């Protein structure tokens, strides 16, 4: 599945721009700067696929990537909580995210990225609420595990586990990753392969 690089298909600013729902999609969501672009690049082994950049104008779209070897589509969601973005833009992309997450029939799972230095914040909780309400499957991926020291990481993990334990439904186990040190990527790939098979 990850043998060949992924290709960028398009950026969507409206639901109507999305490609047809003709193959399995997984989406990656998280606050801006959580390490989403780095993770997508590392996971797919495709350098420069998702932009490792925090420029608001370029990150307000649903960016669509497709595997060249299998019927898998990756949707890179706009990073949330970007402090400097104008309010009307925030509203526009909050609506886009909401519509996508709650109304996409081929969306198989959302990977919700949580920063390994901090644990979840209010925005992450909001996203988990929406996903639980819409009964969309999601899995937490802790990012940048190489950055915090051991006790900081343990504290962030404990907070993350507590936040997930509070959810009304059960969720798959938390995956610990570092794009920098290539930790957890094989586990994440294995999870995605399993989704493709079932």
Residue 36 interacting with ligand GDP (CB under 6 A): yes
Can you tell me the distance from the alpha carbon of 79 to that of 82, in angstroms, rounded to the nearest whole number? Answer: 7
The whole-angstrom distance between residue 184's C-alpha and the CA centroid of its chain comes to: 15
Looking up tokens 């997984």, which residue turns up? 26
Stretch that binds ligand GDP, among 19-27, 117-125, 140-148, 156-164 (CB under 6 A): 140-148
Can you tell me the distance from the alpha carbon of 46 to that of 67, in angstroms, rounded to the nearest whole number? Answer: 10
Residue 37 interacting with ligand GDP (CB under 6 A): yes
Stretch that binds ligand GDP, among 93-101, 130-138, 139-147, 157-165 (CB under 6 A): 139-147
According to CB under 6 A, which one of 1, 9, 24, 38 is a site residue for ligand GDP? 38
Interface size with ligand GDP, residues (CB under 6 A): 18
Angle formed by the axes of helices 122-133 and 87-103, to 10°? 30
Q: Please check whether residue 175 is in contact with residue 139, taking contact to mean a CB–CB distance below 8 angstroms.
A: yes
Residue 46 interacting with ligand GDP (CB under 6 A): no
Residue 147 interacting with ligand GDP (CB under 6 A): yes
CB nearer to ligand GDP: pick between 31 and 73 = 31
Region at 151 (left for phi over 0; alpha for psi -120 to 50; beta for the rest): alpha
The site for ligand GDP (CB under 6 A) is made up of 30, 32-38, 52, 54, 79, 143-144, 146-147, 178-180
């Amino acid at each position: 599945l990850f043998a060949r690089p992924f290709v960028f298909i398009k950026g969507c600013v409206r639901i109507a721009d999305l490609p047809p729902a003709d193959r399995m999609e997984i989406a990656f969501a998280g606050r801006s700067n959580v390490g989403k672009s780095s993770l997508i690049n590392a996971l797919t082994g495709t350098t420069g696929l998702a932009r490792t950049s925090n420029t608001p104008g370029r990150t307000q779209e649903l960016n669509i990537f497709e595997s060249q070897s299998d019927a898998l589509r990756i949707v890179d969601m706009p990073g949330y909580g970007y402090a400097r973005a104008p309010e009307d833009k925030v509203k526009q992309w909050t609506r886009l995210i909401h519509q996508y997450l709650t109304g996409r029939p081929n969306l198989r799972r959302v990977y919700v990225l949580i920063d390994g230095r901090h644990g979840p914040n209010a925005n992450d909780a909001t996203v988990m609420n929406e996903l639980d309400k819409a009964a969309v499957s999601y899995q937490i991926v802790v990012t940048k595990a190489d950055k915090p020291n051991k006790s900081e990481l343990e504290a962030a993990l404990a907070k993350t586990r507590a936040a997930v334990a509070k959810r009304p439904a059960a969720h798959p186990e938390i995956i610990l990753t570092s794009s920098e040190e290539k930790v957890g990527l094989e586990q994440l790939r294995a999870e995605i392969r399993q989704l493709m098979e079932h």
